[in-house]
Amino acid sequence: MIRSPLMTVMTDAVMKAARSLKRDFGEVENLQVSRKGPGDFVSAADRKAEQILREALEKSRPGYGFIMEEQGVIEGADKSHCWHIDPLDGTTNFLHGLPHFAISVGLEREGQIVAGVIYDPIKDELFIAEKGKGAFVNNRRLRVSARRDLVDALIICGLPHINRGDHRQFFRELAAIMPLCGGMRRSGSAALDMAYVACGRADGFWERNLHSWDMAAGLILLREAGGYVSNAEGGADIFGAKSVVCGNEYIYRELLKLLKA
């Protein structure tokens, strides 16, 4: 387990927000929900959890900037550090009472993600990673799977939905990958998808039209767990491309080859 001061700050903030989310999830039918776009719902729980995270992190690390799903970009006095925060990754699951969602917090230092926390409050699974210190889930060290062949692999993907994403492109990619792999899944939480690849529950994952707060914590988890990760074209600019493909060395290369073709 990582016991650095930075990880303590991050996990404490996430646990505070998680307590609020769990209470609201128990009352999901009574939530005040606003709709900011087709298929893109924002709940009162989402906004409240984000504010809890911001206040806790500002108190512990004053001056750091923020990139957040709800409040957007907030410049900090310390230009070398920035938090990427998704207070509720899997909002649609949450609002339908589907118990699969997470809080995701990643820290960027001078252009590199150096620490990440993803917490699933329903399953009580805490995924953490810090650069050079490994990746863990509830005190267990994480490693990506060792499967080498797509025919044996479980692949997770993201799906475009109404008014979001290139549906025809996705169908082409699905048609290329689905017949060759052992199984396909779509969970509704990119943060947990990346965490599951990091711990070997799935062998690969790809998705387009993501934001930095969806991916930041997952990136450091994957890298510290021995995974390979890039954007869907194989480049290093994952946030700029708004896409990700990842897996162990073998599955990642196969997925990337199929996506590029």
Grade residue 164 by pLDDT with cuts at 50, 70 and 90.
confident
Out of 2-11, 31-40, 47-56, 211-220, least confident range: 31-40
Say what the pTM is: 0.93
Question: What average pLDDT score do residues 43-48 get?
Answer: 84
Question: What average pLDDT score do residues 46-69 get?
Answer: 95
Residue 38 gets the label, from left (phi > 0), alpha (psi -120 to 50) or beta, of: beta
Residue 40: pLDDT above 50?
no
Check residue 38 and give its pLDDT.
Answer: 31
The hierarchical CATH code for the domain 150-260 is 3.40.190.80
Residues 206 and 244 sit within 8 Å (Cβ to Cβ): yes
C-alpha neighbours within 13 Å on the C-beta side of residue 235: 8
Backbone φ and ψ for 55, nearest 5 degrees, come out as -65, -40
- Using a pLDDT cut of 90, give the percent of the chain over it: 80
Check residue 34 and give its pLDDT.
Answer: 53
Both tokens of 146, joined, read 């060792």
Residues 210 and 193 sit within 8 Å (Cβ to Cβ): no
Residue type, 98: L
Q: List 246's β-bridge partners, or say none.
A: 205, 229
Check residue 94 and give its pLDDT.
Answer: 87
Class of domain 5-141 as given by CATH:
alpha beta
Residues 222 and 118 sit within 8 Å (Cβ to Cβ): no
Residue 143: pLDDT above 80?
yes
Q: Is 19 helix (H, G, I), strand (E, B) or coil?
A: helix
| Number of residues assigned to the chain | 261
Sequence ranges of the domains in the chain? 5-141, 150-260
Check residue 37 and give its pLDDT.
Answer: 40
Residues 65 and 76 sit within 8 Å (Cβ to Cβ): yes
Task: Give the sign of the dihedral formed by CA 96, CA 220, CA 143, CA 194.
Answer: positive
Q: List 91's β-bridge partners, or say none.
A: none
The separation between the first and the last C-alpha atoms of the chain, rounded to the nearest angstrom, is 40
Q: Is 138 helix (H, G, I), strand (E, B) or coil?
A: coil
Would you tell me how many other CB atoms lie within 10 Å of the CB of residue 110? Answer: 9
Check residue 41 and give its pLDDT.
Answer: 39
